[in-house]
Amino acid sequence: MKNPLLDQDFSHDTSYIAFPEIKDEHFAPAFQIGIDEAKKNLERLSASQDEATFQNTIEGIEFHRETLDRVSTIFFNLSSANTNDFIKAYSKEISPKLSELSNDLILNAPIFARVKAVYDKRATLKLNTEQTQLLDKTYKAFRRNGALLTESQKQILRSIDQRLSVLGTDFSENVLNDSNGYLLVIRDEKELAGIPAAALEAAKALAEEKKEPNAWAFNLQFPSFFPLLQYGENASRRQQIWKANAGRAMQGAFNNQSILQEIARLRFERAKLLGYESHAAFVLEERMAGSPQRVKEFLQDILKQSKTAAEKDFQELKALKKESTGEDTFFPWDNAFYTEKLKEKKFAFSSEELRPYFKLENVIQGVFEHANKLYGLRFEENKSIPVYHPDVKAYEVKDENNGRFIGLFYADFFPRESKRGGAWMTSYREQGVTHGKKLRPQVSIVCNFTKPTATQPSLLTLDEVKTLFHEFGHALHGLLSDCHYPSLSGPNVYWDFVELPSQVMENWVTQKESLALFAKHYQSGEVLPDALIEKVKKAETFQAGYFGVRQLSLGLLDMAWHSSDPTHIQDVEAFEVASVKEALFFPHTPGTSTSSSFSHIFAGGYSAGYYSYKWAEVLDADAFEFFLDRGIFNQEVAKAFREHVLSRGGTEHPMELYKRFRGREPDPKALLRREGLIAK
């Protein structure tokens, strides 16, 4: 049987994945061949009697599973962006095998002996900076993942890792299935008062799709349910959908409570086995922050700076509700609604006023124009490049000055039941040496924006525009990488540094010079008026304290699960409330939990790392101040950011890279200045 996962020549920059040719039945044999190939490479390395060198050992490990990495990358990217019943089932079968293979390497004593031999003589090897970093990273990977354990301990570690690989998949699927299984159907038009016409049209289309005639339907995909929360005047309907969203994967067939507790316990057990006090201590050894104590101090410091402003913000919302209704009570499902009302009152504009100026196609061209003005990139759509779904667009990225091929960029913007919620950037091929040749990257951004309707195009909210710029920043980190080793290239950096390229891009969204490039009315072509831009800028720090504390609460919750012994935790809801009580404004609503659907920390890579969003906010606020001082499209600053941050991946410690760009360490007060919490 021909297999496009194996038969295609992937050794060229323009070797694009033949998605339409890939069928479910191709994955199992391709995975098996990839696993067999990787095992043979490890067996050769383990049995080698040659003197251990950087080339035959460290590089041998770096490139020992090229086929498997390609197959695995395609499979798991599709699992997130375009899954089906086979992919869901097979991911549970293949994940433990991949975990086992990783342990075959990390727990292989002869291979570790070779790595240690190279590491011990590193001072005499005359390695360049990138080679030194790869050697250090490889040695630490062995040490941190069990190479120094006894054989019986290694077997325990293997079983933990296999179990965790299954649990993470189960957690993610439960969130997706519970989200997809919910549908709020409304038949009385009076209950839809306040909701914008565009959202109602989308709700009508969803109802028709779900065979619900003469009705409007809302699901738990963000573009569907949030307009109801933000604009719906019917408080009982807001309450209904808020509770459904806040209670995802809390009960029934898709209950994640026991799963997340087991994940936390196994992570703790694994960390203790490896000699660490907690899972957070294990994770943070390889982060800029360095330790759980420093993360907690960081979060508490910002919480202290933000809490007073947050309390004031919250009281403003409560006062507005009382003024509007005479009611003293204020509920979580009131929050988005009165936030929008308060914004309209204070700044005399509604978020919906901006939508007509943010046609998706215009915003895409706008973000491309930013890449051009900052880094000299040109994005050219190529419809002949295969894609995995009709919604996906493919672009060739080239250097405007010399036409040099920079990489391939996929864009996938609309929700569907085969795609998980949220937004993310991923790679189909890391930049670096692949198949023996140094190749350019293939990256993708995946979002869930409002789909076009029969009467209007996809019109984004300001937050969705920021999301697109954010994920595009990650994409630039991948596209502009200029490294040798794939494991160090692009976004393969410390997790508390990886959000800098993405979050810094969000800063351009509300700059007048930036908006002029893409914020044009979808019907008239009129550029976003200066008066509205000024309102947007004034509203930038609106509720900054309150929203900041919400973000901090998620970091605190993550650290609560991962910085101490979780084996005593019996009640997920009670533990969660106790863990973040200093950052809460509402009494707990029974039957709701952030943890049960907190995929970032229980199914993604952010365990003991969610603080990194705030950490990176400090970095991005400080970095953008540099642009503001010199000009937001200043070529000198852009060149420095590209050379010292975007192109270098994880080839050096991120603080060294940042200092080379900025000339100093980041100023923590830059974030507080941007949010209006201290004077500029």
Q: Which residues contact 580 (CB under 8 A, 6 or more apart)?
A: 553, 556, 557, 560
Q: Please give the structure tokens belonging to residue 254.
A: 């898709």
Phi, psi of 451 (to 5 degrees): -75, 155
Which has the closest alpha carbon to 114: 47, 62, 37? 47
Helical ranges in 181-325 per DSSP H = 197-209, 222-231, 235-246, 257-273, 279-284, 292-325
Helical ranges in 107-146 per DSSP H = 109-120, 129-144
| Contact status, residue 179 vs residue 248, Cβ threshold 8 Å | yes
Q: Please give the structure tokens belonging to residue 119.
A: 């590491």
State how far the Cα of 504 lies from the Cα of 501, in Å rounded to an integer: 6
Helical ranges in 351-461 per DSSP H = 351-354, 360-375
State how far the Cα of 234 lies from the Cα of 228, in Å rounded to an integer: 9
State how far the Cα of 293 lies from the Cα of 563, in Å rounded to an integer: 9
User: How many CA atoms does the CB half-sphere of 149 hold within 13 Å?
Assistant: 23
Single-letter residue type at 542 = F
Which amino acids are annotated catalytic? 471
Q: At what angle do helices 24-47 and 66-81 cross, to 10 degrees?
A: 140
| Contact status, residue 570 vs residue 135, Cβ threshold 8 Å | no
Helix, strand, coil share (%) of the chain residues, nearest 5? 60, 5, 30
Segment 334-337 long-range contacts (CB within 8 Å, at least 24 positions apart): 334/235, 334/238, 336/226, 336/229, 336/230, 337/229, 337/230, 337/231, 337/232, 337/233, 337/238
| Contact status, residue 602 vs residue 168, Cβ threshold 8 Å | yes
Q: How many other CB atoms are there within 10 angstroms of residue 182's CB atom?
A: 16
Segment 159-162 long-range contacts (CB within 8 Å, at least 24 positions apart): 160/266, 160/269, 160/270, 160/273, 161/99, 161/100, 161/102, 161/103, 161/270, 162/96, 162/99, 162/100
Single-letter residue type at 543 = Q
In eight-state DSSP terms, residue 541 is G
Cα dist. 402→31, 378, 633 in Å? 39, 11, 21
Check the CA dihedral 223-225-227-230 and report its sign: negative
Measured in residues, the chain has a length of 680
State how far the Cα of 191 lies from the Cα of 204, in Å rounded to an integer: 14
Q: Please give the structure tokens belonging to residue 76.
A: 């798991």
State how far the Cα of 618 lies from the Cα of 209, in Å rounded to an integer: 44
State how far the Cα of 680 lies from the Cα of 672, in Å rounded to an integer: 9
